[in-house]
Structure 1
Amino acid sequence: MVRPFVLWLIWQNECTRQRYHIGNLLHDGDKYVFYYEQSRKRRGLFEALENGYQPHLAFRDMGRKYVSNRLFGPFERRLPDRRRPDFLEILRTYGLPRDCTDMDLLRATGGKLATDSYEFVAPIYVSGNHFDFDFYVAGWRYYEGDRVIQYLKVGDEVHFRLEPENRQDSKAVEVLTNKGCKLGYIPAFYSEFMFNLIQNNGRYMARIESIHFEAFPQRKVNISVYGEFLPSYQTQDLDMLHQISLEVI
């Protein structure tokens, strides 16, 4: 089965700065599908609703699966205009080829606008007992990232450290260089997954996938993670992850 191109839609509460996985955008090469994420128990749609989230004006029905032959207008408007004189420079900044798709561009840029609190991110893909995902380091500006970024290289291994005493997030996971410098955190919508995996002795490898020296702090360093579950591993989000990864549009 060819897995569809999937992105998670994230909403951030502007007051608390907490982020929630509230929807999924899928593309199989033919149709685009968007629906709200109602399976996730932690940092999902229902928790977001309890913390002030209101459905997107273009997608008011939270129980509907929206289908389109082209990228939905509200998401397409989040992409840089391909007619811009500096469009090729934008592609170079994100390491994208000229023939990249709209989904490639949405994934690389996050589709962020100054006028709202939405962002697209890569999902956690699960196949059998293996998984992979990538993320931009959260909290970059507050730790040692800018001090050591000149010494980082693509392919460098990084390490994760649990921080259960964190008052903001008991499932927080720190991101450290191989020399122990703290770059920041795994974003919260991934952290419970990795926290539980590490606690259950799951195997993983994490490396620097890309470095963007001139990017905004939240898009400076991208980390790729690959790993596998042990047979005893269980998490409340695992069924949801399988559903997203294997869904056929």
Structure 2
Amino acid sequence: MTRPFVLWLIWQNERTRQRYHIGNLVHHEGKYVFYYEKSRKRRGLLDALENGYQPHLAFRDIDKIYVSDRLFGPFERRLPDRRRPDFPEILRTHGLSSDYTEMDLLRATGGRLATDSYEFVAPIYVYGNHFDFDFYIAGWRYYEGEQILKQLKIGEKVQFQLEPENEQDPKAVIVLTSQGRKLGYIPAFYSEFMFQLMENDGDYEAKIHSIHFKALPQLKVNISVCGKLVPSLKERNLNMVHDLQLEMI
């Protein structure tokens, strides 16, 4: 079975600025599937509902698994129009070739609109004893990243540091250069995973995957992470593509 293409749908509370993983979009063997993330994970749908979230108007039933032969209209409209004169430049900026897929473009751009607080991000993929994911550094504008941006290199290793004393988020994980310069944080919907991995001395490697000098602050530096699971994390279902969903595709 081929590996499904999965994206997490993230919602941000505009008042608190906190972001939540509220749903999953899957593309597999020609079918698109969307379902809400109802597990008891931290910063998932249940937390979001307690903090003001209202289900998307096109996906009102949080218990339903939505299936389509094409990308759902509300998500397709989030993609840049290929008729735009600068569309080839958009592809180049995001490192996409002319044979890109809609899911490729949705992942690269995040599907962000100025009119709401949704975005798509890559999931944590788990396969056997290994995992991988990538993320844009959160809180970039508030720390040292901009000062040393031109010194950073693609492929350069970064390090993570736990911050359990953080009053707003006791599972916070700081992103540092190998020289100890603070760049920002791992986004909260990933940080619990890394926090637990690091607390249990898990094996991982993190490095700079891409740098976009002219992008918005929250999209300037992307970090890729790969490693091996510790037993406590291996027991959890972190792949986000459950057997039920795959049977529905």
With the shorter chain as reference, the TM-score category is: over 0.9
State the SS of the aligned residue for 1:46: helix
- Give RMSD over aligned pairs: 1.3
- Alpha-carbon separation, structure 1, partners of 2:131 and 2:86: 36
Match for residue 76 of structure 1? 76
After TM superposition, the structure 1 = structure 2 runs for residues 61-140 of structure 1, keeping only pairs within 5 Å, are 61-140=61-140
In structure 1, distance between residues paired with 2:113 and 2:33: 21
Deviation of 1:229 after TM superposition, in Å, equals: 1.6
Does residue 244 (structure 1) correspond to residue 241 (structure 2)? The answer is: yes
In the other structure, the counterpart of 1:27 is 27
Structure 2 match to 1:227: 227
Q: Distance in 2 between matches of 1:242 and 1:16?
A: 28
How far, CA to CA, are the matches of 2:200 and 2:42 in structure 1?
A: 19
| Separation in structure 1 between the aligned mates of residue 127 and residue 186 of structure 2, nearest angstrom | 21
Q: Deviations over 1:29-83 (max 9, x none)?
A: 4010000001143100011000000000000011000001110000000000011
Flag structure 2 segments of 5+ consecutive residues without an equivalent. Answer: none
Q: 1:163 to 1:182 in 2, by over 3 A?
A: same
Task: Measure how far apart 1:234 and its partner are.
Answer: 3.5
Q: Tell me the TM-score normalised to structure 2 length.
A: 0.96
Share of identical aligned residues, percent? Answer: 72
Structure 2 letter corresponding to 1:190: Y
Query: How far apart in 2 are the matches of 1:98 and 1:234?
Result: 38
Counterparts of 1:40 and 1:151 in 2: how far apart (Å)?
40
| Distance in 2 separating the partners of 1:102 and 1:120 | 12
- In 1: Cα distance, 2:136 partner to 2:109 partner: 11
| Runs of 4 or more above 3 Å deviation | none
Q: Which residue of structure 1 lines up, in the alignment, with residue 166 of structure 2?
A: 166
